[in-house]
A and B are shown apart, each in its own frame.
Chain A
Amino acid sequence: MARIFLYTLYTALLSTLIACVVGVGTAFFTARRRFFGRRFLLAAGIVPLCVPPLVIALGYVSFFGVNGIVSGWFKAIANAAGGNFTGLTFLYTTLGVVVAQGFYNFPLVTRIVNDAWERLPPQNENAARLLGAGEGRIFFTITLPRLSGAIAAACIPVFLFCFFSFMIVLLFSPPGNSTLEVELYHAVRTTLDIRSGVILALIETATAMGIVFAYSYVIRKNQIGVEGLSFTRNVRSRIAGQPFESGAARAIEIAGFVLLAVLALLFFAGPGAAVLISSFTIKQNNAEVFGFGLFRGLFGSATFWKAFINSLLIGLCTSALCCFISFVYSVVIRMKGKQQKVLFQMIPVLPMAVSSVVTGWILSLVFGGGNVVVLVLCQTLLFWPIGYKQIQNGMNQLTSDTQNAAFILSRGRLDCAMRFYLPSCRKVIFTAFCYCFAVSIGDATLPLVLAIPDFSTLALYTYRLAGAFRFNQACACAVVMILLAGVGFLCGPSRASGTTKGRMGSQRQHLGSLSLSKGNKKESK
C-alpha cells in the first residue's frame, strides 16, 4: 500500500512539475508578449476542466501509440533507411502517464499565472532594471516571488487532478504500478476487498484534504497579495522586442519560445488533432480511407443513441442541480454576510478533496447500488463547486452599494434573490451551467464505478470502444461528446460574460472554477 501511495505521489508530483514549468514558461509569453496563437493558448485553459481525460488518453494513443501517427512517421523513416521500427512504446510507461497528465493540465497553469502576471505592474521590474539588475535577477528576485502565490494556486489543483487521475493511469500505467484511485476502483469493483478499499479511500482523502487546506491557505494569502496590483493593461511587446534586452537575452527568449511552441504542438495540440483525424479515418484492406464512415456507423447504432440521450439527460439534470445549489449557497452566504468567512469559503472547496471513485462507492453503498439518480447526485456533489465559482465571481462584480440598494428596496430576502440576484447573474448562471454540463458529459469515472446495469453514457461508450481496441470509433464518439459538451459554450460564452465586464471579470469567470474566493475588493473595503 505504501508503494501505491508513493507511486501516486510520484506521478502526481512529476506531472505537476511538467505542467508548472511549461505553464509558467508559456504564461511569460502570453502575459508580456504578443504572438500568433496567444488567444488560442489562453482559451485552452478550459481544456483540463471541460475535456475529459479519456479523450486526452485517446489522443495520446492515436498520436503516440504503437500504431499512432508519430510511430507511422518513424516507421516510414525506418523503412526508407532499410531498418525496422515497431512503434513508440513510451506511452505505456510511467513517463507516458506523467507526460499525458502534465501536458493535459499545463494550459490551466498558463491561464491562472497569466492572469496574475498581466496584473503585475511593470514599474517594479523597471525599477529593478534601473537599479542595475539583469533580466535573470529581475525574474528570480522580483517577478517570481510576486507570482509565487498564483503559481501555487495553479499547481495545487493540477496536483489534485493528477493525484485523483483515473482514466489516464488505468489506460497507460505499466503493469505492477498503480495509483490509489485505480487500486481503490479495483478493490471495490473487481476484487470486492472492502477492507483495502476503506483504507485506500481514507489515505487518499486524508492526503487530498491536507492539500486542499494548503490550497485554501495559499489562495487566502494570494488574495491579500492582490492588493496594490495594477489593473491597468500592460503593453505587450513582440517576442524579443524589448528595448532593454541584450542580444543574449533575446536569443534565450526566442529559443524558449520555439521550445515551448514545439512542446505544446507535439504534446498538446498533436493528440487533440489526432483524435479529430482518427475519427475520420477508416481502415479498409490495410489502407486508411478518410471519410464520415465512423460517424455514419455511430449514428446508425441504437446503443450510441441510448448513450447520447442518457448523457444529455444526466448532463442537464446535474447542471440544473449544480446551478440551483450554487446560486442558493451564493445568495445565502452573501445575505448573511458570511462570504469572507473561512468556513463558508472552504465548503465549496471540500469536494476537491474527495475522488469520484470514493464518492460513487459510498453513495452506491448508501443507496444500495448504482442507478441514474445516484449518478446525478454524485456528479452534483462533486461538480457544484465549479458552478458556484462562476456564480460567485459574477456576484463579486456587483458593488456593495447596489446590493444594499436592492436589500432596502426589496420586500424580503427571497424577493431580493429573485428580483435582483437572479437577473443580475443570469449570464454567469448560464456559464456555470455550461461548465457543469461539459464536466458531466465527459465524466466516465462515475458511470464506471456505479456500474449501473444496462446503462451507458457517451463517455462510458467511448471508454468501452477504446477498451475493445476500436480506437477510431472511440475517437469519433469522443468528437461527438466534445461537441455536445461544448454546445453551451458555442451558443453563448461571450453573452455569458456580460455581467462581469472587464478583463478581471471575464478572466475570473474562466479561472475561478478552481479557486477560492478572491473576495470583492469593493466589498471588503
Chain B
Amino acid sequence: MFFTVQNIHKTWETKTVEFSLDCEKGTMTCLLGPSGCGKSTVLNIIAGLEQNDPGAALREPQGQLMIELDGQRIDNLPPAQRQIGMVFQSGALFNHLSVVDNVAYGLISKGIKKSQARRQASEYLTRFDLAGFDKRMPQTLSGGEKQRVALARTLITQPKLVLLDEPFSALDTDLRHRMAAQLRKWQQELGFTAIMVTHDEEEAKTVADKIVRM
C-alpha cells in the first residue's frame, strides 16, 4: 500500500475515535461523516499536528500508531519532514503575503532562491486559472479563488500525500460542486494521492475513488 495509517486513537470527554486506513497511490479517498465525529482530528494526527492518545498501545504493543507513506514510517517525523501537504478549511492563506508569495512559501522552505521560487509559483498559478493573480492580496480574493491558491500552495511542493480538510465547506452549494469537479480533474491530471474530509455525500461521490464513513 502507498499509504497506511493504523491505530489512530483519540478520546474527548465522551467520544472516542479509533481509525485505520489504507490508500493506493494516485487515488482520492474521502472521509465522510457528520460534524464533530473526528474527521479533522484524523487528518491532524496524520499530518503530525496533533498527538495520538496512547489508547490501544497501552493494552497491546501492536496497538501503537503506525503511519507509513511510500514504504517509509513517518509517525515519528515532524510535520515538515513527512512530505504531506494540507489544505485547510479556511484556506489558511498568509494574509500579509501576496498570492505569489503564498505559493512560493513552501519552495523557499525547501531552499529554492526567492526569485526562482516566485517565478515557479507564478507559472504554477496558471494551472489553477489564477494567471495575473500574483500581486493580489488574499483578502481581495473570493472564497473559490482562495481555495485554489491554497491548493496551488500545497501542490507546488509536490507532497506525496495531500490532506484536504473540508476545503469547500465555506463556499455556496453551486460553487462547491463546481470546485469538487475541478479538484477531481486536477487530481487525475497531476496524479497526486489525497485524503479529503467532507460531510457532503454528493461532493464525496464527485471526487472520491473510495469513500470511508466515520
Contact A131 B105 (CB under 8 A): yes
Is B132 in contact with chain A by the CB < 8 A criterion? no
A130 within 8 A of B: yes
CB neighbours of A227 from chain B (8 A): 139
Alpha-carbon distance A407/B94, docked complex (angstroms):
41
CB closest chain-A residue, reference B111: A132
Are A127's CB and B80's CB within 8 A?
no
Q: Which of A123, A132, A244 contacts B92 (CB 8 A)?
A: A123
Chain B residues, CB < 8 A from A243: 48-51
Q: What is the bound-complex CA distance between A271 and B110, given in angstroms? A: 48
Residue numbers in A under 8 Å from B109 (CB-CB): 128, 131-134, 137
Contact residues, A113-164 vs B (CB, 8 A): 121, 123-124, 126-134, 137, 141-142, 145-146
Per-position 1/0 for A176-190, Cβ under 8 A of B:
000000000000000
B85 near A130 with CB under 8 A, answer yes
A127–B138 CA distance with the chains assembled, in angstroms = 15
CB-contact partner of B47 in A128, A130, A133, A137, under 8 A: A130
Given known contacts A130-B80, A134-B80, is B92 in contact with A124 (CB within 8 Å)?
yes
Chain B, range 37-59, C-beta contacts under 8 Å to A = 47-51
Residues of chain B with a CB closer than 8 A to A133's CB: 80, 105, 109
Q: Mark A240-256, 1 if CB is under 8 A from B, else 0.
A: 00011110000000000
Category for how many chain B residues contact A:
20 to 34
Cβ proximity bits B104-130 to A, threshold 8 Å, 1 near / 0 not: 011001100000000000000000000
Is A123 a contact partner of B48 (Cβ separation < 8 A)?
no
Chain A's closest residue to B163 (CB) is A130
Q: Are A130 and B50 in contact (CB under 8 A)?
A: no
A contact residues around B47 at 8 Å (CB):
126, 130
Which of A121, A130, A146, A246 is B90 in contact with, Cβ under 8 Å?
A121
Which chain B residues lie closer than 8 Å to A127 at the CB level? 86, 88, 92, 94, 150, 153
Question: Quick one: which of B85, B94, B110, B150 has the most chain A CB within 10 A?
Answer: B94
Inter-chain CA distance A137–B108, complex, in Å, is 11
Let me know if B49 and A131 touch, CB within 8 A: no
Whether B84 sits at the interface, judged by CB under 8 Å, is: yes
B15 within 8 A of A: no
Which residues of B are at the interface with A, using a C-beta cutoff of 8 A? Answer: 47-51, 78-80, 82, 84-86, 88-90, 92-96, 105-106, 109-110, 139, 150, 153-154, 157, 159
**25 A-B pairs, CB-CB below 8 angstroms?**
A123-B88, A123-B90, A127-B88, A127-B150, A128-B105, A129-B78, A130-B47, A130-B80, A130-B84, A130-B86, A131-B80, A131-B85, A131-B105, A131-B153, A131-B154, A131-B157, A134-B109, A141-B105, A146-B95, A228-B139, A243-B48, A243-B51, A244-B49, A244-B78, A246-B78
For the complex with contacts A129-B49, A132-B109, 16 further pairs of A-B residues with Cβ separation under 8 Å are A126-B47, A126-B88, A126-B92, A128-B105, A129-B78, A130-B84, A130-B86, A131-B105, A131-B109, A132-B157, A133-B105, A137-B109, A141-B105, A244-B48, A244-B78, A244-B79
